[in-house]
Structure 1
Amino acid sequence: MAFSDVRKPAVAGMFYPETKAELSKQIKHFLDNVKYRKVKGELIALIVPHAGYDYSGQVAAYAYKELEGRRFKRVILIGPSHHVTFDGISVGEFDYYETPLGRVEVDRDFANKLVKSGGKISFIRAAHLREHSLEVQLPFLQTVLRKEFKIVPLIFGNSSFKNSQNLAISLAKLVDEDTLIVCSTDWSHYHDYETAKKMDRKGIDAVLQGDIASFAEMLEKGECEACGVPAVITTMLLADSLGVNKIQLLKYANSGDVTGDRSKVVGYAAIAFAYESSPLSDEEKKELLMIARKTLESYLSKKKVPEFKVPKGTLMERRGAFVTLTKDGKLRGCIGYIQPIKPLAEAVQDMAIAAATRDTRFPSVIRSELPEIEIEISVLSKLQKVNNIDEIKIGRDGLYIIKGLRSGLLLPQVATDWGWDRKQFLEEVCYKAGLPKDAWKDEDTILYRFSADVFHE
């Protein structure tokens, strides 16, 4: 029988109950206190606390409640080191992590790929032996993810933006829709209750806005705190790459809310990163085309971007979008946002101007051309990594390819318009990126597919 390398629990009986019965009972109690789930779309990442369950377990339950009824094959756990300092990120090299609820298998294949990707990612065993920030997440995961799942335990040895950036880039190349990111952090430490709430609100608001620059600036000024800063920044960077368009605060509290002692408290938050999309109605499509047309008329004649009152709803969802301009049936400009970085109405406005004035393949559109210009809008779905080219369906999917510093995108309708088969489509997206036609086969190439809701005037 082969020997298994098992990481034994380090904080059972201290941070959470050491018996299966008591641990299961406590987690059930926490989860039962959360009456309903808030995340409607595709769940991509969670931020959770890592204090003792008596202090932060209820807040954590608001995050883990969202996993009930969902299935993930892999969970990436990212947290800070509280015992060992080093420059870089350590991957847990064990075969299993054990808790009173049983063992969870480590995805060694995924871990090995991460280490090979470079970026100061390595195996540092000592970083994991006593670390609680990841261990305390496991009993919750074992409870809510009833199907088998594997974990990839990642510990930051220091706070380095470059290391966070490198890890986010490496993970973006490897994760798929069956992967969940769990970021472990507590917030402000040992301030009075009101000061802690103000500090935590600032930091959490920056996360909810996806504003990494503001978050980093506030940390530098001491206006907010988080012990898992590099894990949070990695998660925020990764969220951008994975198409997150909705970030929700599920629950906030601090230790003063639990113990009643408000003199020196620690902050806890449960935050969800998701992708949500609603189908566009015919009226909403007409509204977007109107916004694009009136924006072009105003900008090309007065250099002014008009303001529109857009009601809350689908047009205010962050979505990727392309605007295509044609004249006499021929392309006159096409530019878009690949990722959902802006509300849809604003994205269409931006890209209408960009398609008319910044597509370097064509001279800028002038005002007198507008009566002859037809506008087409493509609202993109979330990018999905292609693991097998058989997944690609002509007429449904667009392609986005990345290799090194080069990238290229072709919308779904392009393959249909030109009558390409799958192989031709792959070769053409390589050409669009300035790559050799067979570059899609290379191991270091990342290929995504996406669908689009396409409509025109």
Structure 2
Amino acid sequence: MGRILSAYLTPHPPVLIHEIGQGQEKLAGDTLAAMEEIGRDIEKRKPETIIVITPHGPLFSDAHSIAMEENLKGDFGAFGHPELSYSFRNNLDLTYGIVKSSLNEGISIAQMTREMNKRYGVDGKLDHGVLVPLHFVDKHHTDFKVIPITYGLLSPVDLHVFGRSIESAIKAGKDDVCVIASGDLSHKLKSKGPYAFAKEGPEFDKRIMEAIREGDLVEIGGFPQNLAEKAGECGLRSLQILAGILSVYEISTRVLSYEGPFGVGYGTAIFSIAGESEKKILEEISSRERSSLEERRKGEDSLVRLARKSLEHFIRNGKYLKLPEDLPEELLKEKYPVFVSVKKNGSLRGCIGATEPTMDNLGKEIIYYSVQAGTKDPRFPSIEEEELDDLTYSVDVLMKPEPVEDESGLDPSIFGVIVQKGHRRGLLLPNLDGVDTVQEQLRIALNKAGIGPDEDFSIQRFRVVRHH
């Protein structure tokens, strides 16, 4: 029977590796020391297999992905160092066991064979979310197989059940296993970091590290997605799967370090197994998830509520909702263009709108574009009825655009942007995750319009009133 020997939280900044950091790694000295300690701890336990849960492999909104090739390779070529290359063997017996166990629980798994990699346009190499922690393990312990898993953008309950499926497969197998939850914490700790500062960044990091310190798997597994989303993290889902894996055990935890020298939170911790547990935490996580969504629904304003009811009515009845007569006056008389966004488990599920009013009033705009966002966004399949209870909505009301002479009049945290050259026109809303510079905002808008950066184009900016 296989055993879980221990588990770990690690960050994955390539800058920690000296050849890449070129001295910058010393600014994260506590993290560096902790990664070395994790390497030594794994060497002491001598696992035959290491499972690494990463955010940066082939990412799907409706499934987890798992590598199915026997030989796994990767390098840091994307970070300027292709000579830093690594090769590991996959534990295919356990991999197939995880797939089977997960499918039995109704969890979708993308089995990334060579053909699947080609189909989805990925190279099949190990990503830095896997390679950075294994770089430090490999210094101390080399005789192990690897199973890389990329989490899907699924709900906390689904992530927990997937973790339980992994644990069941390990127990049904024959290898001793260590598990690494690879993920950075908030990317919004400093205004000079990779993203704009958000007050939710430090709040998220403090709360998640405290939950780890206390070994509170319910807090980790049911952590509020809206806070995580605003914090701009990439490690929560790795931890939530890990919480599922560990949920049938008594555990002790030891936080090794926490710091954020580059504006991104790096946390390291060791989870040790202290015996089996009778606790059943799935019900508590499910209850938290329901309560969180119910609380959000209670806080909906009239615009967001109309957006939700419009899409729900169309999906269930196949026709547009009639404009309710009891709406606030602003929805019945005022005319503004809107964009409606629909999210599932914190990830975009659809977004469509217009830059000019197309209906008699704001209420009709919201009804129409809610349905369009849920059924006509070419990036996503149409929303199904069984998804409706898991969705959240936001409505962006666009103010009248005004021309600007050059980039100095733009600010992506305040203004949306419209670029135009003849009939080609591209729009980008303000305050979007990952769009923190004027240059990035213009690049995306120009790309959407099919306008080259060297062409002569006009720029307009606009403010947005966001309802969510």
State the TM-score, normalized to the length of structure 2. Answer: 0.44
